[in-house]
Structure 1
Amino acid sequence: MTSADLALPAQDERTMPAVVLRDLDKRPLEHALAELHALVEQHGHVIVVCSQAASAAVTRRLYTLRALMESDRIAVFRPDLPPLGIAVLARQLRQLASCDLGPGVLASAGRLLTHYIHAGAVLGSVARLDRVPVGLTAHAKSWVPGSQFAVLAHPEPQFVRVGPGATLTGPRFGTWMLVAKGPSQTQAQADWVGTLSKAWNVLGLREAPLPAESPRWWGTGRMVEFCGHLADLSVLYQLVTSVRRGNCHWCGIDVIGDRCVFCSAAPPGHEPPAPRALEQRAPA
């Protein structure tokens, strides 16, 4: 992780502890390089989960470190999720890290599990929200005192003005909900998330501190962020192992999906048949 507040508490006794690469953009380059090198030597492979709300300086430093090490054993994973969703996904990978999954399969699992995360927030304003499509009318209404908006950023963008009967379409499978309240959140925002959790029939609701990057991602600090997710390790494991595995043709590691997270190699494309072959198969 690149931020300590994205390292959620362990879900169970098997959940692997998170390693936080602190202050990447502030520490001397050689110090960060030595830390990352030690992690690779200790664990063999390293998966760095980083929010897209992280500063440009942190992102540049990550890719600089990876390039300097010239290693295909470091995966930088930056899914298009809000910060609380990033924290949930990272904990799911930490849960799976205790299972008999190779590093390539574990890293690839991040992209698979992203599809099962429902991440959103109740906002006091959408005037500065630029990561989810919002109409001009909603932008104008956000300046009206007391306005509240519910936004689902993933897996499919949804947007409603909070009011009687307003809701968001949720998952069609059993999930837990994690809730993080901002310092300026209102009771109405918290109550609406509680109502949403009942509409989604969640298995349980837990609270967590609001990630520091959340106000930057959502464009406001007047918010309650929420995330519906799979929490049971056996379900996560069954989901990942049910997907067909392949072998990266470049680095040789086992992966799921069509691209290796470590070396970024995609399967070689199939060349079209030669014109002569087409002519031979054509009917007389």
Structure 2
Amino acid sequence: MPTAIAVTSADLVLPPTDHQTPTAALLQAPDVQPLDAAIADISVLLEQHGYVIALYPASISVAHERRLHTLRSVLESDRIALLKSDLPPLGVAVLVRQLRQLSICDFSAGVVASAARLLSHYIYAGALLNSVTKLDRVPVSLKSHAKSWVPGSQFGVLANPAPQLIRVGTGELTGPQFSTQLLVAKGQLQSEWITSTVAPAWQVQGVQELPLPAESPRWWGTARMIEFAAYLPDISVLYQLVSSVRREVCTWCGIELIGDRCGFCSAPLVPAENQTHTPGVLNQGAPVRQRS
């Protein structure tokens, strides 16, 4: 069975890219599900899948995050990975789907968990906002704060992989230099700027509209927004990115990993070594055949 991927909200589970991509399990908040029921659910996941990788936005409630750690502590299990992501919710949903795709490949649970940090660098996550006065997750200058009080002002914000903020009509957001597809989720704001301006400038290969994740207004500081995320859709490219990084063994828990930190126990690799992907992974070369 593939490694189980879990989320903290059902709207972080995007539609599968194909009939092979598994869904994700839901680890609900403590005000929705009693602790004993949550323990029973995750115990079943561990029994069926061996390992559970839970990926969640950094903006979830303290109580919900505490519940996740409680589950791992009560079960005394080193087979549960808790991965907090600074990506906006739609970006987290993209990353969750990519991990779901990788979970059916010939990667160990440790490699899949540690791949989350690698793949997040290739997700361009942002939003169109009518105000940045309550935006605290992306650096905002005093000048931008002042402009947000001007009626009709709109701002294009990129949160990942590098923060950027522009006033719409006075600049462009820096996009990816590789082929992507674009997801768009509309809040309480009407605009075609993302599909008419951002998508052509970034030369995206396709645009799909989805419902806005419930956590997005809190993350961005306003409900009057439209969230977007450009991502690598091809499983063969994701597979090559991950498989091109040298695998190591965690010196603390003994699980396999890539990069410089274990996805399960968070221990840094000793000695820390930065790995790079092989040249040509994101170019227009022949796709890599996925191994099963």
Deviation readout 1:140-160 (Å, 9 max, x if unpaired)? 211111110000001111010
3-state secondary structure, aligned to 2:157: strand
1:199-278 mapped onto 2 (5 Å cutoff): 199-269=201-271
1:179 to 161, 166, 184: 184
Given residue 250 of structure 2, which amino acid in structure 1 is its aligned partner? C
2-side partners of 1:191 and 1:79: how far apart? 27
1:126-137 mapped onto 2 (5 Å cutoff): 126-137=132-143
2-side partners of 1:192 and 1:3: how far apart? 25
- Structure 1 stretches of 4+ moved >4 Å: none
2-side partners of 1:197 and 1:181: how far apart? 15
Question: What is the TM-score when the length of structure 1 is the normalising length?
Answer: 0.90
**Contact 2:127 / 2:157 at 8 angstroms: preserved in 1?**
yes
* Mean CA deviation greater in 129-138 or 23-32: 23-32
1:79 to 57, 75, 85: 85
**Counting helix residues as a fraction of each chain, which structure ranks higher?**
1
2-side partners of 1:140 and 1:4: how far apart? 37
Q: Unpaired runs of 5+ in structure 1?
A: 271-284
TM superposition shift of 1:65: 1.1
**Contact 1:122 / 1:193 at 8 angstroms: preserved in 2?**
no
TM superposition shift of 1:37: 1.3
Does residue 166 of structure 2 align to residue 160 of structure 1?
Answer: yes
1-side partners of 2:126 and 2:225: how far apart? 10
Question: What is the TM-score when the length of structure 2 is the normalising length?
Answer: 0.88
Q: Unpaired runs of 5+ in structure 2?
A: 1-6, 273-292
1-side partners of 2:17 and 2:26: how far apart? 18
Does residue 16 of structure 2 align to residue 10 of structure 1?
Answer: yes
Change (3 A) 1:116 1:229: same
**Contact 2:185 / 2:210 at 8 angstroms: preserved in 1?**
yes
TM superposition shift of 1:192: 3.9
1:17-36 mapped onto 2 (5 Å cutoff): 17-36=23-42
RMSD: 1.4
Deviation readout 1:63-87 (Å, 9 max, x if unpaired)? 1111111111000011210000000
1:90-169 mapped onto 2 (5 Å cutoff): 90-163=96-169, 166-169=171-174
1-side partners of 2:95 and 2:143: how far apart? 33
2-side partners of 1:194 and 1:105: how far apart? 38
Change (3 A) 1:25 1:58: farther
* Mean CA deviation greater in 240-249 or 82-91: 240-249
3-state secondary structure, aligned to 2:26: coil
Deviation readout 1:160-188 (Å, 9 max, x if unpaired)? 0001x521011111111111001x2123x
1:52 to 58, 62, 65: 58
Larger Rg over CA atoms: 1
